[in-house]
Amino acid sequence: MIKNLGLFPLMAICLLVGLWFGSTRASAGEVKLIANSSVKTDTVSAAELKRIYLEERSSLADGTHVEPVLERGGRVHEAFLHQYMGRTADDLQNYYRALVFTGKGSMPRELGSDADVVAYVARTKGAIGYVADATSTEGVKTLAIAEAGDSSERKVISRVPPDYPETLKRLHISGTVRLQVTVSPKGDVENVEVLGGNPILGEAAVAAVKQWLYAPGRSRTTAEVSVPFVAH
């Protein structure tokens, strides 16, 4: 019996370590920013996002009025504060209370879960919020986060060359296609939009860039990429 009792401290330690490790892994998930379909832009800078949530401004760079929404605690909320706000939950609450007290702002709406945030953002014009990366976001749009220096930090580690359309190549039709590329935190290319260039060359460029792989980053980022087509 004494030997068996001696196992309990070891078992308790193992259990606590397991719980801590599981919690750490669960909290390591990415956060994604979502917005109501009325929000025109597909990209917002990290600095702009912080100013919106600190109520230093009420509209995005394109003039769209936005309403920030918070989650009421939890791992996603903590991850958002750490990644984009640089504040603890208590710090942020004290900041909002000071705004209310001085009449310079109001307390943002707080919702209890990812599902609640998605539902509210979907039905509220101008609303933006954040949810866990794995959350279904049907009915809302996902905003990419563009941080200063992202285009230089997110190095391409696997590049697929475009297929030069044979007809254009034979006719010596060349040019450069400009693309806006949205890259996931893991480095996968999530979206590619043509900003300029020959539309046929653009299709070839998009097909190639969608297969590129970037170095991992802290968040979704956007970068402008130029793909040249030179006929010899």
**For every one of its 232 residues, what pLDDT tens digit does the chain have, with 9 covering 90 and above?**
444 445 445 444 444 434 433 433 333 347 899 999 999 888 788 888 998 999 988 888 767 899 999 999 899 999 999 888 988 999 999 999 999 999 988 999 999 999 999 999 999 999 999 999 889 989 999 988 765 444 445 788 999 999 999 999 889 888 889 998 988 888 899 999 998 889 999 999 999 999 999 988 777 788 888 899 987 6
Beta-bridge mates of residue 144:
43
Using CB atoms within 10 Å of the CB of residue 8, give its burial: 0 to 12 exposed, 13 to 18 middle, 19+ buried: exposed
User: Which pTM was predicted?
Assistant: 0.56
Residue whose pair of structure tokens reads 């401290």 in the numeric block: 9
Q: What is the layout of strands, in order, in the sheet containing 67-71?
A: 43-45, 141-146, 31-35, 127-132, 67-71, 109-111
CB 193 within 8 A of CB 175: no
Using CB atoms within 10 Å of the CB of residue 35, give its burial: 0 to 12 exposed, 13 to 18 middle, 19+ buried: buried
State both tokens at 68.
């920030």
State both tokens at 84.
């984009």
Using CB atoms within 10 Å of the CB of residue 9, give its burial: 0 to 12 exposed, 13 to 18 middle, 19+ buried: exposed
Q: Which CATH superfamily is domain 150-229 in?
A: TonB (3.30.2420.10)
What CATH architecture applies to the domain 31-146? 3-Layer(aba) Sandwich (3.40)
CATH 3.40.190.10-classified regions of the chain: 31-146
